[in-house]
Amino acid sequence: MGAAMIARHLPAEAVLERTEFGAPHIPDLVRRAQSGDVQAFKQVYREHVGRVFAVCVRMVGNSQRAEELTQDTFVRVWEMLGSFRGESAFSSWLHRVTVNVVLVDIRSSKRYQSRVESTDDIEQHDQEDAARFPGERLDLEQAIAGLPPQARAIFVLHDIEGFKHEEIAEQMGLAVGTTKAQLHRARRLLREVLER
């Protein structure tokens, strides 16, 4: 498979961040930020804050908490920026950092711990969860935000962000069967809400 064929299968940003011969390339703005240039980091923040916030809000379903997690993500990015080597697109690396920050928050949150349900309890709570949604027609983002926290996080990671069940299970400290059951639950609840 030639370079042109490979390039067609890569995201545009990955192609743009590679040199002519395929060697890793760190964008100039990121390189300047890595060297401690605060103005360059501010520009990196401005260019990426919208996408980071969108991932956070989808995963936690609360814009105020998503804003806090967005800030936490950029603090973490500043701390870890030296570890970015240009082996993937910067946006891919940033996405992974964002997801990890949110997952750490979900795992450590007492609210999350108090709402975690075993797969045995899912059917018992489905009607209660469906009743939490308002009767009027909601858009998809509102419906996702109304999902139970664990089901929402798994739905976002799997169906929106493209993670595999094994990756989600490992990052969230769950069994693969639990992630599959929670994804099924999230999809069913979304269907019920969106069909009203």
Q: The CATH number of the domain where 150 resides is what?
A: 1.10.10.10
Q: What helix, strand, coil percent values describe the chain, rounded to 5?
A: 75, 0, 25
Tell me which residue range forms the domain holding 145.
Answer: 115-194
Is 50 exceeded by the pLDDT of residue 159?
A: yes
Q: Are residues 68 and 32 in the same domain?
A: yes
**Paired tokens of 16:** 């743009």
196 and 137 in contact (C-beta within 8 Å)?
A: yes
Residue that finishes a domain, picked among 108, 137, 161:
108
Is 70 exceeded by the pLDDT of residue 54?
A: yes
Q: Give residue 16's pLDDT.
A: 39
Mean pLDDT, residues 152-159: 89
178: closest CA among 117, 134, 130?
A: 117
* Entry pTM: 0.62
Mean pLDDT, residues 45-61: 93
Q: Give residue 37's pLDDT.
A: 92
68 and 102 in contact (C-beta within 8 Å)?
A: no
